[in-house]
């Protein structure tokens, strides 16, 4: 299938004798090619794009095209602001184009170097932290698992096995020297060339390229032994925290103590504190502060409310303390953030994008994302019959 104009945005640093020739690269040549350069206009700031979209449950929701729920995008991360630990119901594949980073997954810290690939499922809280002097540039593939349903055939589950069986020892990062990351990047760029997939042929191409990505990953992890109980155990842990996440969304403006959070979950304080950190990767009070500040960011960007009102609406009784916490987490004052956002949102300027605020009180709540539960996995649990992992309807 011919590559569209979008595909030409992928540029590999050529050898001197090849400067005048920009022939398409095969998967094999991509596996050994030089550094990748993308046009600056392609990049979105990861913090501005993702941070304020994370809800009380710590779930990021991506606005997929419902007819073809997949996207390829380019992200940049400067290290000045860190997205808090979050998860998502879609599956994620990240290729680190430049820079070096730490990949936080639950309570694990994995090294993520230029040319490496990271794969992340739907039940694990995670974030990418820049650790290089220059900004990170990342090519990201997001997709809903339902997209690769094979007309009811049983082999569908095999495609997504690496995403579902990610236990505490799972090697999320695929090193560059395996050659797999660059082959995956080739397929990601082919997917991007077909988006938006408006025609049946384009959607077929997208699904085919995605399956090629997944086959590469299945082969990479063929020797890794996980178990289906891993996914169910992780989902059960998340379900135990759902009442608390709902409570935070409805009562964020009130004083919330660890004792109260433990009561909502039906646990002792000591068990709750260790359980919450194990599931989300953050201590409860740190998680709460991050959530409150991210909600404040949305209100600063989307409303004309005063700083006093916003600080109270997100649960800070003292405006000066609110300003101190905001600056520590965001890197600038609330007033400067509001000015920066509005300047960046002016016509033809910037790349900051936010969805509707997630809040309580006079600001409306948005519906939280649906997620996998053990009830949606009866056939997957046994890996018999129709073993495809069914996610909720799009």
Question: What structural domains does the chain harbor?
Answer: 23-220 (2.60.120.280)
Residue-averaged pLDDT of the chain: 77
User: DSSP character for 223?
Assistant: T
The token duo for 212 is 């090629």
Helix (H) or strand (E) holding 142: strand 136-143
Q: What is the pLDDT of residue 227?
A: 59
Q: What is the pLDDT of residue 166?
A: 87
Dump pLDDT digits (tens) for 305-362.
999 999 999 999 888 999 999 988 888 899 988 887 777 655 544 443 333 333 333 3
Handedness of CA 101, 105, 111, 116 (dihedral sign): negative
Across 286-306, b (16+ Cβ under 10 Å) vs e yields: ebbbbbbbbbbbbbbbbbebe
Dump pLDDT digits (tens) for 157-195.
788 889 988 888 899 999 999 999 999 999 999 999 999
pLDDT at 218 over 60: yes
Q: What is the pTM of this model?
A: 0.68
Determine the Cα angle at 144 with ends 141 and 149, to 5°: 120
Dump pLDDT digits (tens) for 40-51.
677 888 887 887
Cβ atoms of residues 213 and 188 within 8 Å: yes
């Amino acid at each position: 299938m011919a590559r569209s104009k979008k595909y030409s945005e992928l540029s590999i640093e050529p050898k001197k004798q090849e400067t005048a020739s920009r022939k398409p690269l095969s998967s094999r040549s991509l596996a050994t090619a030089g550094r990748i350069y993308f046009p600056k206009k392609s990049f979105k700031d990861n913090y501005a794009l993702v941070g304020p979209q994370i809800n009380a449950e710590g779930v990021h929701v991506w606005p997929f095209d419902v007819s073809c729920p997949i996207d390829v995008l380019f992200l940049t991360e400067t290290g000045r602001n860190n997205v808090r630990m979050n998860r998502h119901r879609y599956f994620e594949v990240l290729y680190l184009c430049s820079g070096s980073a730490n990949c936080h997954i639950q309570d694990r810290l994995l090294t993520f170097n230029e040319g490496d690939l990271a794969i992340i499922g739907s039940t694990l809280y995670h974030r990418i932290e820049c650790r290089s002097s220059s900004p990170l540039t990342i090519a990201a593939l997001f997709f809903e698992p339902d997209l690769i349903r094979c007309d009811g055939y049983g082999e569908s589950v095999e495609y997504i096995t690496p995403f579902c069986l990610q236990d505490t020892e799972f090697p999320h990062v695929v090193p560059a020297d395996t050659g797999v990351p660059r082959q995956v990047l080739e397929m990601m760029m082919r997917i991007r060339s077909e988006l938006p997939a408006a025609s049946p042929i384009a959607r077929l191409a997208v699904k085919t390229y995605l399956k090629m990505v997944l086959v590469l990953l299945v082969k990479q992890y063929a020797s890794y032994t996980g178990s289906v109980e891993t996914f169910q155990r992780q989902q059960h842990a998340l379900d135990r925290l759902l009442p608390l996440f709902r409570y935070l969304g409805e009562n964020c403006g009130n004083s919330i103590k660890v004792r109260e959070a433990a009561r909502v979950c039906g646990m002792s304080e000591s068990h709750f504190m260790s359980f919450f950190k194990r599931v989300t990767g953050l201590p409860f009070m740190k998680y709460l502060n991050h959530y409150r500040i991210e909600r404040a960011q949305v209100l600063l960007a989307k409303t004309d409310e005063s700083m006093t009102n916003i600080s109270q609406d997100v649960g800070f009784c003292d405006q000066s303390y609110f300003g101190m916490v905001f600056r520590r987490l965001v890197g600038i004052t609330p007033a400067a953030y509001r000015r920066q956002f509005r300047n960046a949102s002016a016509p033809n300027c910037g790349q900051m994008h936010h969805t509707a605020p997630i809040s309580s009180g006079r600001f409306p709540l948005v519906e939280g994302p649906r997620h996998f539960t053990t009830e949606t996995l009866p056939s997957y649990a046994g890996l018999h019959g129709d073993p495809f992992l069914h996610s909720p309807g799009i």
